[in-house]
Amino acid sequence: MAAKAPIKVCITGGGGQIAYSLLLEIATGKVFGPDQPVTLHLLDIEPALEKCNGVIMELEDLALSLVRGVIATADPNVGFADVDVALLLGAFPRLKGMERKDLLAKNNAIFQAHGKAIDTVAKKTVKVVVVGNPCNTNALTCMKNAPSIPKENFTCLTRLDQNRAKAQLAAKLGVSVSQISNVIIWGNHSGTQFPDARHATVEIDGVKQPLTTVLSDDAWIKSEFISTVQQRGAAVIKARGLSSAMSAAKAIGDHTRDWWFGTAPGEFTSMGVICDGSYNIPAGVIYSFPVTIDSAGKWTIVQGLAQDDFATEKMEATYKELSEEATAAAELAAAQ
């Protein structure tokens, strides 16, 4: 069989701590497969390029056959040139005393520029994963500034929240996380997100069962479980003084691998995607839904999942926040 041609992958924030962990996942074939060579584009701001050069030296020293080339650049038109996948990790962080509107303003400019560059120089089939926060709205801004790229090619990361939710459920039941499937994250990657265990399954003695028939603690599922997942990022920062990096990198790899290869039969995953009106969520925002993905990389929102009043209230609350963010981002763009 002929060797595969390398794919080009751009990682923004290439000198940062999440990229540092993610690059090893990619370079060792855990994301795109053990036989898929890659060329890596590390895109970052000028002051971070020296760090990127150090990362390049480490990638060279790994002596991995899948890595066919690495560049570091501060020019988006170079970083996104002809890429197959763009992983947008970099974003302006929320500083002490900064209002949310100020954070949106800073990132609106960054992701407008990213979108325009992607529209101009990336492949029209590029898959874009936005991680930098507020990732849902940053993804929407990026998408709006890349009109020649299909809207379905822009997603944002809620897989970290899903992984956190699976871990909490597995610990509660005393099982492996590999036994838990179909946990859902609805809405925004923020404190309003709705981690939903009602449609999850757990495999016991080789048989998949509805998780809620095994875990009958409805009060815990509706309170402590949700709040723990919603606040996990803040808990990590409080404990280690830094935001999640290792777990974030793993989640980005999981998200991208599923998008590249497809989801397993009978299973779905959570991704922030452009809303089409499913589940009575108004269209036009990037909202996290359960999706299935085929082997060609086409995602489809899972339909027909029953919703009770509790779920509807949570889903509408997180939409409200996303709608407000989208309106603020649009006003910022119009004012420029």
Which residues are known to be catalytic?
Answer: 189
Question: Which residues in 250-264 are b (16+ Cβ under 10 Å) and which e?
Answer: bbbbbbbbbbbebbe
Q: Of 187, 76, 197, which Cα lies nearest the Cα of 134?
A: 187
- Which residues, in sequence order, are CB contacts of 169 under 8 Å at separation 6+? 180, 183, 197, 200, 202, 211, 215, 225
CB atoms within 10 A of CB 191: 12
Distance between CA 307 and CA 290 in Å, rounded? 13
DSSP helix/strand/coil, 49: helix
Q: What are phi and psi of 161, to 5 degrees?
A: -65, -40
Exposed (0-12), middle (13-18) or buried (19+): which is 158, by Cβ within 10 Å?
buried
Chain centroid offset of residue 193 CA: 14
Q: Of 289, 285, 290, which Cα lies nearest the Cα of 320?
A: 285
